[in-house]
Structure 1
Amino acid sequence: MQYCYPFDNKSCFKEMRAPEVSVTLYACSVSAVLLTIFGNLVVIISFSHFRQLHTPSNLLVLSLAVADFMVGMFSMPFKLIKIIENCWYFGDTLCFIHSFVSFLLTSVSISNLVFIAIDRYIAVCDPLLYSSKITVPVIQVFIATSWAISLLYTWALIYFKGITFTYENVNVCLGECDVLYTDTWGLVDLITTFILPCSVMVSLYTKIFLVAKRHLRIINSMTQQMITNQRNQCNMSKKSERKAAKTLGIVMAVFLLCWIPYYLCIIIDAYTSFSTPLIIFNGFTWLVFFNSGINPIIYALFYSWFQKSLKLIVTLRICDPESSLIKLFPENH
């Protein structure tokens, strides 16, 4: 038995593990953090540097990548150490800041995914009006709204005492940093940050895939003789929109798979007498953090432009003059 702070008799107990287990856990944690940071950094550099990627839709993906990058920088390292050691070594002030930033970035990621779903819905279901409805200023308003609402909600959660920090309890041991919801705010947070946005995303993507399936059936029914060059370009554009919607739909599906177990544990613990074993809850917390690093992998698997962009960044070709004008895909993609 060891303590987080050996010279303080109020210290919490430290998790005891075999050395090889600790090394494995830290190796996995470092890998996950580096993947999240550098994977999303590649996305940020790509969308920022290459002019061909400067589209309204990509601005939303850029905002999502920024939020995931910040998760890797400011949330994951501290939380993963806490999970492995069962000790918080960074003081009460940093515990508050870490919790605030984590709540903020989670809310930003979810709201960005909602706006991405809206963008893809308009692109696939109303393509003729997409360019007039979804412009760069409109997307900038979406992004500003996403961050502003998330900041306001996180501030309200703390200001109205919707959550309490365990270090504020005099009976809690030294080395603890957890957040407890009140019953009312726990339900509000569940609806606001999970049930409502996820319902919107599932509804929109269901409609997107139904429309995409109908478009594909219409295209397949056309004879080759009736397809003019202009119509062929239109079909290529629709195919591109459907592929983008499919890929971003996978992003949303992975998000749900990573977050649903975590929220189920919170619901079960809050409204039943059952208490989720710590090892299972920590595993689901790891899964939540993994979500921030998985999106660049999805882009790498489904987007050839991402693979080309990664190669240009790694080889430092982006430092060449006029490198921002390099074509990552054909103009009529």
Structure 2
Amino acid sequence: VRLKGKKTDVVTDIHPCYEIDNFKYIWTSSPSIICVVLYIFLAILSIVTICGNLLVIISIIYFKQLHTPTNYLILSLAVADLLVGVIVFPFSMAFSLSSCLYHEDLFCKIRDGFDISLSTCSILNLCCISIDRYYAVCQPLIYRTKINDHVVVTMILVSWGVSAIVGIGVVIYRLRNEKCEKSFDDIMANTVGPVLSFYLPVIIMLCIYFKIFVVALKQVRSIQNTKSGGTSSKMERKATKTLAVVLGVFLVCWTPFFLTKNTTPVPVIEALNWLTLSNSMLNPFIYAFFYSWFRSAFRMLISGKIFQEIRLNLSHIYACTTLSN
């Protein structure tokens, strides 16, 4: 059991790596094999997430031919996923969802703040990508005027700014309302929050991609016997398909968590929470499957050719500087 004020709560769901000691939820002194295997798996998941998204970031930054508005948005999404691997994974391993439910402290609130902030950032980046794809497929003649570097940078700054405000707001709100009644907190956490940070953006994205799908079908019929302009349109449709898969994987990873109820066992909730975090690991594999440029960049990074090119470029710059002096 666990005492809380004048109430006595019965704790029936225990994390395999934690135990109850003096009514506190603490790390077990003798972790089981399940606990060790679990944390090895989560550590591998974190490392793969970090390495995969680093490949995406380095590829887009280094190769100038990849400097396009769409890829800048993918870069922003990869940065958010990278931070999930660097920050949220370690925090979630040290302060699991189970332990934070029974032993809320400052680090649990900080973990929740980063989790919510980066999750919001991911979905806002996906919203921006869907808008980019809408103009690329549905309004191709005005695409370059509507979606340019300045507009994309604004989109990225707004996404990260709103996400930071949401994350900081969550931490401040929970710190100030520790002694307030739980009813309002439950309304915010179970109704308003999910609607604003998940359901509403998802509905908007689904509507946009449905419109893109309808227009893309019409374009396929109209250019079947035309070679001119067909290649460009085909590339846009492929990019749209890839990013639609990214959205689909996001929904598969996140929807079960938001559909869970308060009666759901804690181990199930925690497993679904880790499923949401694994979405940050899956995106680079989607790029690798669909994009040849990512596979080429991956091979160059693994083989070390990219570092050879950087060294040659630096040598060339040094030689030119020496000659000019």
Q: TM-score, normalised by structure 2?
A: 0.81
For 1:92 and 1:54, locate their aligned partners in 2 and report how far apart those are by CA, in whole Å. 43
1:115-194 → structure 2 map (5 Å cutoff) = 115-159=128-172, 161=173, 163=174, 168=178, 181-184=185-188, 186-194=190-198
For 1:19 and 1:83, locate their aligned partners in 2 and report how far apart those are by CA, in whole Å. 16
1:247-289 deviations in whole A, cap 9, x for unaligned? 0000001101111110011xx22xxxxx101121111111101
For 1:323 and 1:312, locate their aligned partners in 2 and report how far apart those are by CA, in whole Å. 14
Supply the AA of the counterpart residue of 2:213.
F
For 2:281 and 2:197, locate their aligned partners in 1 and report how far apart those are by CA, in whole Å. 20
Q: 1:165 to 1:255 in 2, by over 3 A?
A: farther
Work out whether 1:110 is the aligned partner of 2:114. Answer: no
For 1:72 and 1:292, locate their aligned partners in 2 and report how far apart those are by CA, in whole Å. 8
For 1:324 and 1:57, locate their aligned partners in 2 and report how far apart those are by CA, in whole Å. 29
1:57-136 → structure 2 map (5 Å cutoff) = 57-83=70-96, 86=99, 92-136=105-149
Partner of 2:247: 252
For 1:297 and 1:184, locate their aligned partners in 2 and report how far apart those are by CA, in whole Å. 35
* Match of residue 207, structure 1, among 195, 211, 219: 211
Q: How many residues align?
A: 294
* Aligned 8 A contact 1:120 1:245 in 2: yes
Unaligned runs of 5+ in 2: 1-13, 314-325
Partner of 2:296: 308
Q: 1:117 to 1:324 in 2, by over 3 A?
A: farther
Partner of 1:328: none
Partner of 1:286: 274
Supply the AA of the counterpart residue of 1:243.
K
Unaligned runs of 5+ in 1: 170-179, 270-274, 326-333
* Aligned 8 A contact 1:50 1:323 in 2: no
Q: 1:114 to 1:154 in 2, by over 3 A?
A: same
For 2:165 and 2:231, locate their aligned partners in 1 and report how far apart those are by CA, in whole Å. 42
* Aligned 8 A contact 2:116 2:166 in 1: no
Partner of 2:257: 262
For 1:31 and 1:4, locate their aligned partners in 2 and report how far apart those are by CA, in whole Å. 21
The alignment's C-alpha RMSD in Å is: 3.1
For 1:83 and 1:151, locate their aligned partners in 2 and report how far apart those are by CA, in whole Å. 22
For 2:266 and 2:42, locate their aligned partners in 1 and report how far apart those are by CA, in whole Å. 18
For 2:209 and 2:239, locate their aligned partners in 1 and report how far apart those are by CA, in whole Å. 12
Partner of 2:56: 43
For 2:286 and 2:32, locate their aligned partners in 1 and report how far apart those are by CA, in whole Å. 34
1:63-84 deviations in whole A, cap 9, x for unaligned? 0000000000000122134449
